[in-house]
Amino acid sequence: MQELTHYINGEHVTGSSGRFSDVFNPATGEVQARCPLASSEEMDKAVAAAAAAQPAWGATNPQRRARVLMKFVDLLNRDMQKLAEALSREHGKTVPDAKGDVQRGLEVVEYCIGAPQMLKGEFTDSAGPGIDMYSMRQPLGVTAGITPFNFPAMIPMWMFAPAIACGNAFILKPSERDPSVPLMLAELMEEAGLPKGILQVVNGDKEAVDAILDHPVIQSIGFVGSTPIAEYIYGRGCSNGKRVQCFGGAKNHMIVMPDADMDQAADALVGAGYGAAGERCMAISVAVPVGDETADRLIEKLVPRIEKLKVGPYTAGDDVDYGPVVTAAAKENILRLVESGVEQGAKLVVDGRDFSLQGYEDGFFVGAHLFDHVTPEMDIYKKEIFGPVLSTVRAGSYEEALKLAMDHEYGNGTAIFTRDGDTARDFANRINIGMVGINVPIPVPLAYHTFGGWKKSAFGDLNQHGPDAFKFYTRTKTITSRWPSGLKEGGEFHFKAMD
């Protein structure tokens, strides 16, 4: 069995805490590796190495830092297949999905190659008599990120690429469920020319997280995960004087208006609801058709599409629509919530509870589920299921549909499908949710815009990637400068009055 390591100061380091976490193959249920869980002492070593390396990196010309990222992009493209297969083995998502995971991270790296432009300050000539004023953006120092299992390539790159481009050192604490790809990314960054100590990977659980939150040298923390943990990290990190951005859970609604193209809407719901087994914070988990006739038409379109979904291991190639969920505990939680939906009166239109895959009976596979007549009081509506389960909540009017999305505690993403521009514009303006799609089911912004939700889906005032990332990973310093002017007379320098 493989024993994984930490990556500290440019070296693979064996864990010394004596504690480990099992890493499963979700398709077979077998343990394929052990991940070390760092102690606070091990985290201290990583922080010390980062603190020693960062000043020289921070003083490096931004263009030279960008060249490292340029080389890193080349290496990501070179190793795309290798990275995707390693990701699929530990996460369970299909190889095409895994390539998409790497690609969306790569796009943020490409954006960060523009660091010299993004880090330019401002200048005001003659702000007063003989006075100039200018600002500069400077790195924070040592920064850290705590990332989730569902995007083990993309989200780490969303964090460490801008942090490093800005001149910081970065300590990554990835999910212990699928830690291999983050370790591979650190190796590739060093191959691209990054100095030792600037990007380090420290695997761990709550002890490692708390060590990050409490360490006086670490200046900022990024987090993506569940809302309860996001609240914990945000509160404890801020109380320790750190800059913190945390992104939590989601319950994304897609409103389907009577005038929508039902085939387009149904295709969008199937892709957005069941892709990656629903283990995406931007997955659509609630369909809100407006009017019973719209709901009936939508359900009629959805059922055959859902029943045709192919579930299987990543080794099956492109013939699989989605793979297993990440752990046995995740599978149990999904099925428990499905049972609660049945018990609380929702209609289970497509029942995947008895799904079993021949030859992979011990894998963590979950069949596709579709509920109709779900109400806001039900657990399957209130809670983030994070699995292949789509709930349909029928709304009597557009205003009722809008209110459903606006009243939910989460505000990550939402979408509306309609042919009416006025309705779409009203929805975009009024909805209290951070990312909005109009006839687009998963409205994830491109790298040069920012990603972030509202309400209990996000904590902190700056989003991920885009211009916000360069603000988050730097401090602004403003300088007011006055140089006395004078005339040389007889070899002496005579100062003129400044005021």
Half-sphere exposure (CA, 13 Å, Cβ side) for 5? 13
Distance CA 266, CA 245 (A): 35
Strands (E), 129-201: 131-139, 142-146, 169-173, 199-201
Q: Which helix (H) or strand (E) holds 8?
A: strand 6-8
The residue whose two tokens read 């995406």 is: 280
Do residues 142 and 218 make contact, with C-beta atoms less than 8 angstroms apart?
yes
Tell how strand 199-201 and strand 218-224 pair up: unpaired
Distance CA 161, CA 290 (A): 42
Q: How distant, in Å, are the alpha carbons of 9, 11, 18, 212, 414 from that of 200? A: 7, 9, 20, 13, 35
Largest Cα–Cα separation, the chain? 100
The active-site residue, picked from 35, 112, 166, 281, is 281
Q: Which residues contact 299 (CB under 8 A, 6 or more apart)?
A: 349, 370, 372, 392
HEC-encoded secondary structure of 448-475: CCCECCEECCEECCCCECCHHHHHHCEE
Distance CA 51, CA 308 (A): 54
Nearest in space to 369 (alpha carbons), one of 384, 379, 356, 354: 354
Distance CA 363, CA 361 (A): 6
Distance CA 385, CA 23 (A): 22
Distance CA 41, CA 48 (A): 11
Q: Is 424 helix (H, G, I), strand (E, B) or coil?
A: helix
Do residues 159 and 222 make contact, with C-beta atoms less than 8 angstroms apart?
yes
Burial 207-228 (b: 16+ CB within 10 A, else e): ebbbbbbebeebbbbbbbbebe
What are phi and psi for residue 295, nearest 5 degrees? -60, -45
Two structure tokens written together for 459: 């904590």
Nearest in space to 278 (alpha carbons), one of 386, 142, 150, 392: 386
Sign of the C-alpha dihedral computed for residues 436, 438, 444 and 447 taken in this order: negative
112 is catalytic: no
Catalytic residues: 281
